[in-house]
Structure 1
Amino acid sequence: MQRPFLTTNGRSLDAIEVRGLRADCIVGVYPEERRTVQTLQVDLALFLDTRAAAAGAGLEASLDYARLAGEIRFLLESCRFRLLETAAEALCSYILAPPTADAPHAQVEAVSVRLTKPGALGGDAVPSLEIHRSREEMGFPVEEKKWGRVDVLHASQGCGIYRLRIAPGASIPTHVHQAMEERELILGSNLLLQGRPVAPGSAFRWPKDLPHRYDNPAQVEGTILCVDRPAFLPHDEIEVAHEGELPWVEPVPFYPAAERAR
């Protein structure tokens, strides 16, 4: 992949590459593409400073590419895009977002994303798109909530991508959705969902009208990666009263087993 020449504090940046990641996604403008999942190939080049990690600070001073690969697959499988350009922009925004306290890693300063649609032209040719973005050119709006904060990472015609950051000791109250389709990936390690502990890398799809809630008993923020289709509708976050045990939905793992146990 092409690498933009970048420096930080007068020093060159290092690059971590992830090549050949495959994910199923709805992406395209033609009717068949709107109905049928197709496989995308994702190639990433991540520009950051790994000097502290090399000197012994550990993985938290670099980037856990096993977790990142799972998060990219979750986003592509959960979202709906009409254009590769929109999909690539959404991935850049997520990768360049500032790290959170419950999932620390080195700040990625710039990223190159290439998306390839191997089957789009029936074998006659293979189309792809490659874009380059830096952290300085991205915006990361933050919305304040009673229970914490929301990082608005992407919002388009088909979907919205958000990081829900639940404050220590706070809860997202029991609620349902009647219009939005919502999928969520647990990023932190201390959250309770439906009153139960949940492992990082666990993904949940919430059927409409199914009540769900999160609690954060920890001393640091607890973070969830959320995809809403369509983008978030405030009137569709409907708080409900619920007595007894909340219904459980089996998670789908997006991190390797060793990563979920960390």
Structure 2
Amino acid sequence: MTDRIILDSLEVECVIGIFDWERENEQKVLIDLTLDCDMARPAKTDDIKDAVDYKAISKEIIALLEPSRFYLIEKMAEEVAKLCLSHKGVERVTVKISKPEAIRGSKNVSVEITRPKGGTLIFLGVGGNLDPERNLQDGMKLIRERFTVLAVSPTYKSPAWGVKESQPDYLNLAVKALTDKDLFATRAEIRWIEELLGRKRTLDKFSPRTIDIDLLMYGDLVSEGEGGTLPHPQILTQQFVYTPMMDIAHDVIVPGEGRALCDILPAYDDISLELEKVNL
């Protein structure tokens, strides 16, 4: 593939480095990207929907790095590469991260990596209402160990929905990740995390729970098997799924719909349900 998008010297201020003073002060890093992609279709249609949205990619990189606290620019480069490859149309990425004046007598130190696309893009809905702050934090640690996490939405609090008796409020968020596992193994990993955190399944599907992890999308798969429907129908029927998904996947084409999530009008089961953004 010879078609490339090149972005030079995207500047971000963040915490980066191993020394004490570096952990206390932000430094400037510069990001150079080369995105390998097929430009034949957008060149023909002249339509942004057919092109790789490099503005969105640059904004996501800034959002990823500004609050980050990496020790090594090698790790930072790897995370930026994962983010770029999560975008439709990007088949390979070269990431160069420069740390100006990191070494006395040198104007710049940089690392450069090249990564091909690999794995299946998935989205997870994560929630719970039994000690949810601790369980969601523990759940995210386990999710990061089992999957390559690309983005995590803000956390939202909402009343328990569909219940017969009063329950604690729920906390919910959405996760964008890559997996090298097939659908069966991906669901098995999710179930393992739930059981590890004390999830008890009962006949009452609205019972309180320590954690609930739903597979919302698995690549472009459309399925109605025993393991559940894909894409998950609650993406468009529940505010606590739709809203965090819009935070991290507004431009993702919903399998079976042929349209981006932001172009689909949700049909909420309870339009009166209100969400509150909270810090986890």
Structure 1 length normalisation: TM-score? 0.53
Given candidates 76, 94, 97, the residue that maps to 1:112 is: 94
What SS is found at the alignment partner of 1:127? strand
Q: CA deviation at 1:75?
A: 0.8
Query: Relative contact order: is structure 1 or structure 2 higher (C-alpha 8 Å, sep ≥ 6)?
Result: 1
Q: Which amino acid aligns with 2:85?
A: L
Counterparts of 2:67 and 2:150 in 1: how far apart (Å)? 10
Q: 1:34 to 1:146 in 2, by over 3 A?
A: closer
Structure 1 or 2, whichever has the larger Rg, is 2
Which protein is richer in strand relative to its size? Answer: 1
What SS is found at the alignment partner of 2:103? coil
Query: What is the aligned partner in structure 2 of residue 81 from structure 1?
Result: 70
Q: Does 1:167 align with 2:229?
A: no
Query: What is the aligned partner in structure 1 of residue 36 from structure 2?
Result: 47
Q: 1:43 to 1:125 in 2, by over 3 A?
A: same
What SS is found at the alignment partner of 1:120? coil
Q: 1:83 to 1:139 in 2, by over 3 A?
A: farther
What SS is found at the alignment partner of 1:132? strand
Q: Which amino acid aligns with 1:56?
A: T
Contact 1:74 1:185 in 2 (8 A): no
What SS is found at the alignment partner of 1:23? strand
Counterparts of 2:126 and 2:247 in 1: how far apart (Å)? 19
Q: 1:117 to 1:60 in 2, by over 3 A?
A: same
Counterparts of 1:64 and 1:38 in 2: how far apart (Å)? 27
Q: Does 1:134 align with 2:116?
A: yes
Contact 2:93 2:115 in 1 (8 A): yes
Q: 1:28 to 1:185 in 2, by over 3 A?
A: farther
What SS is found at the alignment partner of 1:24? strand
Q: Does 1:36 align with 2:25?
A: yes
Contact 2:15 2:69 in 1 (8 A): yes
Counterparts of 1:135 and 1:186 in 2: how far apart (Å)? 19
Counterparts of 1:134 and 1:68 in 2: how far apart (Å)? 17
Q: CA deviation at 1:145?
A: 4.4
Contact 1:170 1:217 in 2 (8 A): no
Give the RMSD, CA atoms, in angstroms.
Answer: 3.9
Q: 1:247 to 1:56 in 2, by over 3 A?
A: closer
What SS is found at the alignment partner of 2:35? strand
**Structure 2 residue runs without a partner (length 5+):** 129-139, 153-173, 176-233, 252-261, 267-272
Query: What is the aligned partner in structure 2 of residue 231 from structure 1?
Result: none
Counterparts of 2:19 and 2:92 in 1: how far apart (Å)? 32
Q: Does 1:94 align with 2:83?
A: yes
1:3-22 matched pairs, under 5 angstroms: 12-22=1-11
1:157-236 matched pairs, under 5 angstroms: 161-163=150-152, 164=174, 167-172=235-240, 188=250, 218-219=264-265
Q: 1:246 to 1:145 in 2, by over 3 A?
A: closer
Counterparts of 2:277 and 2:83 in 1: how far apart (Å)? 30
Q: Which amino acid aligns with 1:107?
A: G
**Structure 1 residue runs without a partner (length 5+):** 1-11, 100-105, 174-183, 190-215, 221-242, 250-262
Which protein is richer in helix relative to its size? Answer: 2
Structure 2 length normalisation: TM-score? 0.49
Counterparts of 2:103 and 2:64 in 1: how far apart (Å)? 24
Q: Which amino acid aligns with 2:60?
A: E
